[in-house]
Amino acid sequence: MTDTSTTKKVTSDPILPAVDWVGHSVSLIAPIDPFKVKDVLESTENHRLIQPDWTSEESGQVPGSGTTYRIPANVKAELTGVKTYYHDLQIETGTSLASKLSVSASMGVSYMGVSVNASAEYEYETTFQTDSYYGVCSMEQQVYSASLRPGAHTWNNIDPNLISRIERLPAWNEKDPAVRQDWRKFFDVYGTHIIIETFYGNSYKMRVTSTETSSLQRERWKACIEAEFLGIVKSTVEVATEEEKKTYKKSRERSVSVEGGAPQQSAQLVEDPANQAKYEAWTNTLIPGVNDNITNIKVKSLYNLLEESDHDSHRAAAAKIKDALKYFLSLLYVEWEFKCGYGSSETPIPAFDKAAVSFMLDSDDIGTRIIRPNSEYQMKFWYDNPAKPRTMHMEQTQSPGGLGSIHALFFVETPRRPIKILVHVDRFYKEPSGYWARLKSKMTNTKITLYSPDAFFWTPELQSIKQPGNWRSGISTTLHRSVGQFAAMPPYSSYLGAFSVFALAALGESRSSWTLGQGIEVNWQSSSQQLSIVQANKTLLATVPGQNFLSASAGKDQWVGANGNFNYTSVDLNRCQGQIVTGVTHSSREDSINGEDVSIQGYLQNCGNQSIGYTMSFWVPKALPDRVAFDVNVEPGHKRNAPMNKLYVTFGSHISEDFYGLGAQASFASMKNQTIPIFSREQGVGRGDQPITALEDSQSWFSGGNEFTTYTAIPQYISSAARVFYLREEDTAFAEFDFTKPNAVTVRYDALTVGGHIMQADNMLNAITMLTDYVGKMPTLPEWVDNGAILGIQGGQEKVERIVKEGLKQDCPVAAVWLQDWSGTHSQEAPYGNMQISRLWWNWESDSKLYPTWTEFVQDLREEYGVKTLAYINPFVANVSSKADGYRRNLFLEATKGGYMVQNSTTNGTAIISSGKGIQAGILDLTNQKTRTWFADVLRKQVWNANISGVMWDFGEYTPITPDTKLANISSDAYFYHNQYPRDWAIFQRSVAKEMPLFNEMVTFHRSASLGSNRHLNLFWVGDQTTVWGVNDGIKSAVTIMGQMGISGYAQSHSDLGGYTTAFHPPTVANSSGAIGRSAEILGRWGELAAVSSAVFRSHEGNVPEVNAQFYTNSSTYSYYAYNARMFKSLGPYRRQILNNESKTRGWPLLRMPVLYHPDDSKARQISYQSFYLGADLYVAPVLDPQTTKLNVYLPGTDRNRTYTHVWSGKTYYAGQTVRVDAPYGKPAVFVVNHAHSPELNVFLDFVRKENGTVIRV
């Protein structure tokens, strides 16, 4: 009996029209016009070379059609809706303008496509002298596309007749006319390329021709065209006189091509293209799947198609077809490459009148010879416009005789860099069989364009094709400044793309390697299109072979910000699709170890309708000779309404390489497969933990955040391969680190200039040292923090003193109190019920009600109990006019009058920030020196004057980024300054603190940070976690953040013990307030975590203290807290040894992610919060889940002799296994590594022995 359950049912649905063309062949041999899709589609006998795979299929609908279509398994159909693409004015064929008319046209080709994306720059100097000049305006609407899916099924479905036909062809011999004829017939039937993607929609083109000799200037002529392009190009240029416009209209030829849409509307547009209403009606008549047309296609050459296959017969066919395809496609290249205008100038070019030039000549017998410059053939050069050094002129003084097609290859040198030029000119050269294309120009009075993407087509697909080595010798040039030997290619070497490619060898010097110093070399392999930097046979950096390592975009992201919450929608516009390298040279550089850098120049192509120049430089800095510095500069382009404004740098990576650091990342161990935004903002409440995040978002826009929101903006990473990458401190614009590609890392940066450092360490810990050699190391914490707990208390002098006394009675070592409410509090309504959230008055003077004798009280705590005091400050000043118990100074009014806060040009006043209901405040403008002077005086007289021992320096991430944000320093753009503010905030506070007598005992801690902030603060705090067990924003996230910050250069960190933020849900009968309060259990477990992970043991009451369990709530919470504080104190000598000997000198963090010691252990790489090292000798697995008294702990390492001894049971285990251990309250899983022992560690082990019998109940 036959099992039919798996038989595929073939539907009767029709094939999607776009799908039907995928896999068909086309020919791009001249005289086919590759810009005309219809001509291309009719160029062969319409062979389908890749058959549809109906073994399985999908179905889909074109939007609006209601028809269901079949889609084979090897084709991907995208039903995208209508997307409209407008093309600027473009020159589609050669012209014969008089010499007085100067036209500069630029062209680029979409990747492997056949439609031109072109722009034209008009320089009409006097009058029209021709009857054959025209421009074309074009528009296309794409509704849906179909593309060939990559994979083995593609090659399995190649038509076997194609392979057998190639096998029967004679071996290629370009000198044999019969062989050429056989191969030409083959290409006429089977084509040269295969369609890999189609785009359906409709298209509109209007050709405008002028024969008029009246003096229409360039702006007026262009305005006429734009005005008649029916609204596609909006013009603000008015024609000078109506009479001139009428004259122009009469003289021009109206030629309109319309494809798609309603036939009657198309016909009316052809008859009257200037009718705006008819155009608008036509645009609305496109019925997808009914009256649409192919607007564009993408193609792949037969050679590349067969070469990529794993089938031996396919690869053999590719090898056989290669040279024949090069031969015939080179004709197309010659035909379309020479798109130069005409003109002349009398301005000579200095130092070029004696330039020697080498030529490659293709003679009638197709052989190739080198012709040296001689008296029979001389050229002279001059600039058309000194302000545009890319445009030059060439003039022939004598005919070269009866030669055929001449390919002139030479160099010129601009003030910036040498540029290579390839010029094709012709005197009716004709191949015997008649297939040579006639070039459109003669030599005399020909303006050429310096080598640029505007003059050449570039197909990245072809980068694997190698240049014949014999073309390197015998070609040289001598200029005013010698650029040495250079490599050249024969004119038919690599034209296998959609059009062709001129693969450029290293310019200026006949080599592929350039020295940076310190044994470091930059290598550029033109054959594989790969850049690499190598030292002692170790690769520091390598780009992905055959892929662009630079790109740029004109897109401007859409940002929205409220209450410190910022979110963005990424926008790409005219992102460059191609890249070429035109030169690699040494340049002088003062800060380089050997006085020079290696500079790579080139162009980014297909950036909309333009090409963009770039320079990328590498050098070894004098100050840090163990790394490579880089700098990228990209030109903005010539589109004023859409200039390039962000760039992309892509480096290669290993498929198994993991990435760590990037600041306070709370949700991931490795950032592999993630895209990490670098932007300082409120991290949100929940950050993806549900239902908290959704509840918060429902109450206030984006207040829940997501897995990528963070207080820090630190653009760096360290990989599991011990590679270090970071951007310069001054490069503070928004960035994204894209780790989603298996073999590449792309850094996107929102500016056209960026730099940084790249280095390779011998292990990940030393990689942190190399990072901190640049960003700095955190100043040492004072030793008093080792002595016990810092009690976070609110409520006034009486309450604070009472709790301190009780704590000491409970055998709780108390080192200090942290009194964030010293400046007074006010209540803020909670989202639900009658609950009040406790907020502070941001007026930075002691509150007369809570702390009436503030200065004396601080001193009394110090003298009577040996307890120090810490306070709270942020960069806001709030209006305290409504403060019930009064104030001595209203800093908000003072700052408003003095202009000390960030301003808003729309309101012409202070930029008001919001942090919930009832708070009106401004943010200090730290670009204003007057602000710094004023606020420093406030701190000296009203904060540090009380002899406090430290401050929480909160916030730093609220600086607005809207265009109307106004900073005192006009050179500081708010969008770029935003990420710099956290560092400026840290620099400012420390500069004031240094003046104070108690500076050496101060603890200054922040949650916001920029690259380099760490050297201006001695403690980092991980921010406002919710008081729950969550991964993204609860207790677990605190561990992950400390681990990632340690890899970012922040060796000393801690969290709010117990968390800070109380989340709310709608009230219930059981919970009328809706508050998600803190339990006694999580308070105790968080205390354990702080004891065995943190540099400081500091608790927080939270923002709704009355719903949270506090350490002073009852005797059991007191007891548990005191126990944890004693455990923290017992680890003090061990921590201090690490901080003094490793953190201070090497930058190594106290808390260390397991990957730092075990990058070769795949399990260790993925550990984020589950376990960590405290220094090198203790391995810790905290309890981070409720009602858990046993833990499964993975003990990392591939060395099976590595041991882990459980301190509470004394049992020893070996690395590489998961063990289950007891973890009752008070006993986090702590292991001694490799039987380590030291006097410092023994203090902790004494605590373990003493307290092992202690039973804690919650």
Considering only 527-531, 754-758, 901-905, which range has the smallest mean pLDDT?
Answer: 527-531
- Summarize the confidence of residues 465-489 as an average pLDDT: 23
Which among 376, 378, 337, 336 has a CA at the least distance from the CA of 354?
A: 378
For residue 272, the model assigns a pLDDT of 65
Q: What is the pLDDT of residue 813?
A: 98
Write the CA distances from 803 to 370, 783, 1096, integer angstroms: 94, 24, 20
Name residue 1231's beta-bridge partners: 1179, 1206
How many Cβ atoms from other residues are within 10 Å of residue 185's Cβ?
11
Structure tokens at 65: 């059609």
- Band of residue 68 on the pLDDT scale cut at 50, 70, 90: confident
The length of the chain in residues reads 1258
Q: What is the mean pLDDT of the chain?
A: 77
pLDDT value at position 35? 53
- DSSP symbols for 109-141: E-TTBSSEEEEEEEE--S----S-EEEEEEEEE
pLDDT one-digit tens code per residue, 620-645: 999 999 999 999 999 988 777 788 99
What is residue 782's predicted lDDT score, i.e. its pLDDT? 98
In the predicted structure, residue 1083 carries a pLDDT above the cut 50: yes
Question: pLDDT band for position 1056 (50/70/90)?
Answer: very high
Share of the chain above pLDDT 70, in %: 72
Instruction: Please determine, for residue 859, whether its predicted confidence score (pLDDT) is greater than 90.
Output: yes
> What is the mean pLDDT of the segment spanning 765-785?
98
Secondary element (H or E) of residue 1152: strand 1151-1152
pLDDT per position as a tens digit, 555-574: 999 999 988 999 999 999 99
pLDDT > 90? residue 1087: yes
Of 244-258, 402-416, 511-525, 852-866, which range is least confident? 402-416
401 pLDDT more than 70: no
CA torsion sign, 395 to 397 to 398 to 400? negative
Higher pLDDT, 1089 or 63: 1089
The pLDDT assigned to 740 comes to 96
Query: Residue 411: is its pLDDT beyond 60?
Result: no
**Residues paired with residue 395 on neighbouring β-strands, in sequence order:** 380
411 vs 1205 pLDDT, higher one: 1205
Minimum mean pLDDT range among 707-716, 833-842, 950-959: 833-842
Distance between CA atoms of 232 and 646, rounded to whole angstroms?
Answer: 26
Contacts of 771 (CB under 8 A, 6+ apart): 716, 718, 724, 726, 1048, 1049, 1147
pLDDT at 204 over 90: no
Least confident of 157-171, 873-887, 1219-1233: 157-171
Kindly state the DSSP code that residue 230 receives in the 8-state scheme: T
Answer with the residue of higher pLDDT: 31 or 1152.
1152
Range list of β-strands (E), 433-574: 446-449, 513-517, 520-525, 530-535, 538-542, 550-553, 558-562, 565-569
Q: How many C-beta atoms surround the C-beta of residue 752 within 10 A?
A: 19
Predicted confidence band at 287 (pLDDT cuts at 50, 70, 90)? confident
Mean pLDDT of 586-607: 92
More confident residue, 765 or 24: 765
Tell me the C-alpha to C-alpha distance, in Å, between residue 617 and each of 419, 589, 602, 820, 1144. 17, 10, 12, 49, 33
Q: Is the pLDDT of residue 206 over 60?
A: yes
Alpha-helix runs per DSSP H in 1132-1173: 1132-1138, 1144-1146, 1162-1165
As a whole-number percent, the residues of the chain with pLDDT over 90 amount to 53
| Confidence label for 843 from pLDDT (cuts 50, 70 and 90) | very high
Amino acid 645: pLDDT: 93
Residue 307's pLDDT is 84
Which pLDDT score, from 0 to 100, does residue 473 have? Answer: 22
**Whether the predicted pLDDT of 1133 surpasses 90:** yes
What letter would DSSP give residue 1139? I
* Confidence grade of residue 34 (pLDDT, cut at 50, 70, 90): low
Q: CA 451 to CA 436: how far, in whole Å? A: 24
Task: Name the pLDDT band for 363 (thresholds 50, 70, 90).
Answer: very low
How high is the pLDDT of residue 370? 24
pLDDT, position 82: 65
Q: 465 pLDDT exceeds 80?
A: no
In this prediction, residue 423 carries a pLDDT of 37
pLDDT of 485 over the 50 cut: no
Cβ(79)–Cβ(59) below 8 Å = no
Helices (H), 904-1034: 929-942, 974-977, 981-993
**Selection from 474, 477, 468, 472 nearest residue 420 by Cα:** 477
Cβ atoms of residues 1168 and 668 within 8 Å:
yes
Give the residue, 339 or 1013, on which the prediction is more confident: 1013
* Residue 1098 identity: R
Closest CA to 225 of 204, 252, 247: 252
Residue 137 has pLDDT above 70, yes or no: no
Segment 338-357 mean pLDDT: 26
Q: Rounded mean pLDDT of 935-959?
A: 97
Q: Is the pLDDT of residue 1093 over 90?
A: yes
Query: In the prediction, which pLDDT does 455 show?
Result: 26
Of 324 and 278, the structure prediction assigns the larger pLDDT to 324
**According to the model, what pLDDT value does residue 7 have?**
32
Distance CA 391, CA 379 (A): 16
pLDDT of 26 higher than 80: yes
Tens of pLDDT, residues 517-556 = 999 999 998 888 899 999 988 999 999 998 999 999 999 9
91-105, 142-156, 289-303, 586-600, range with greatest mean pLDDT:
586-600
32: pLDDT confidence band, cut at 50, 70 and 90? low
Predicted pLDDT of residue 637: 83
- 949 near 906, Cβ under 8 Å? no
Q: Is 862 exposed, middle or buried (0-12, 13-18, 19+ CB in 10 A)?
A: middle
Q: Token pair for residue 82?
A: 């209508």
Q: Where are the domains of the chain?
A: 17-318, 338-455+470-502, 512-652
pLDDT at 271: 66
pLDDT of residue 310: 82
Q: What is the mean pLDDT of residues 971-978?
A: 87
The whole-number pLDDT of residue 381 equals: 31
Quote the crossing angle between the two packed helices 160-168 and 177-190, to the nearest 10°.
Answer: 170
User: What whole-number distance in Å separates Cα of residue 539 and Cα of residue 529?
Assistant: 16
Angle at 178 between CA 177 and CA 180, to 5 degrees: 65
- Predicted confidence (pLDDT) at residue 791 exceeds the cutoff of 90: yes
pLDDT of residue 836: 79
Average the pLDDT over 101-124 and give the result.
26
* Burial (Cβ within 10 Å: 0-12, 13-18, ≥19) of residue 917: exposed
Instruction: Identify the band that residue 260 occupies on the pLDDT scale cut at 50, 70 and 90.
Output: confident
pLDDT digits (tens, 9 = 90+) for 714-750: 999 999 999 999 999 999 999 999 999 999 999 999 9
Can you give the pLDDT at residue 1201? 96
